[in-house]
Amino acid sequence: MALLNILQYPDERLHTVAQSVTQFDDRIRTLVQDMAETMYEARGIGLAATQVNVHERVVVMDLSEERNELRVFINPVITARAGDTEYEEGCLSVPGIYETVHRSERITVEAYDEHGEKFILEADGLLAICVQHELDHLAGKVFVEYLSPLKQNRIKTKLKKRAREKM
């Protein structure tokens, strides 16, 4: 397994729309393992392949306290939505920034696991929020793009300043 580099907003590659996975092979299973290791190392709860500059429809997620309930979503599609909610979201590609985003309260998602087995998941609460957040990444959208242009510019400026200070 290998740690992957997580792209940082406003990197343009984060706006690349991911393509469907067509083969469930060792390459995909290795990608899933590497993404999981990267997510755990970064102390995240979800990671989309787009965030590691792989533009395929793959997401890993683990909301458990023990970090032992990895969920894999390949070619995920939200097939139903209900209700509205707000949640303060953060993102491994936008480190240290947390903002409130409006999302559907409940969703149904169809996806495949890393072995090509199809499943349907009904989700609410944090799981529903996380699935929607990660599927946005696969569509080339970062959560801060739900915010006003003023807030987006402030976040870009803050992150660019941080990047300069690290050099």
Residue 47 sits at the vertex; the CA angle it makes with 117 and 55, to the nearest 5 degrees, is: 75
Q: Is there a binding annotation on residue 91?
A: yes
- Tell me the three state secondary structure of residue 133: helix
Sheet containing strand 46-48, edge to edge, reads 46-48, 58-61, 71-91, 94-112, 118-124
What CA–CA distance (Å, rounded) separates 122 from 63?
A: 15
DSSP H helical segments within 42-147, as ranges? 125-138
137 is in an annotated binding site: yes
The CA distance from 33 to 23, in Å, is 16
Instruction: Please check whether residue 46 is in contact with residue 130, taking contact to mean a CB–CB distance below 8 angstroms.
Output: yes
102 has binding-site annotation: no
Residue positions annotated with a catalytic role: 134
> What residues are designated binding site for Fe cation?
91, 133, 137
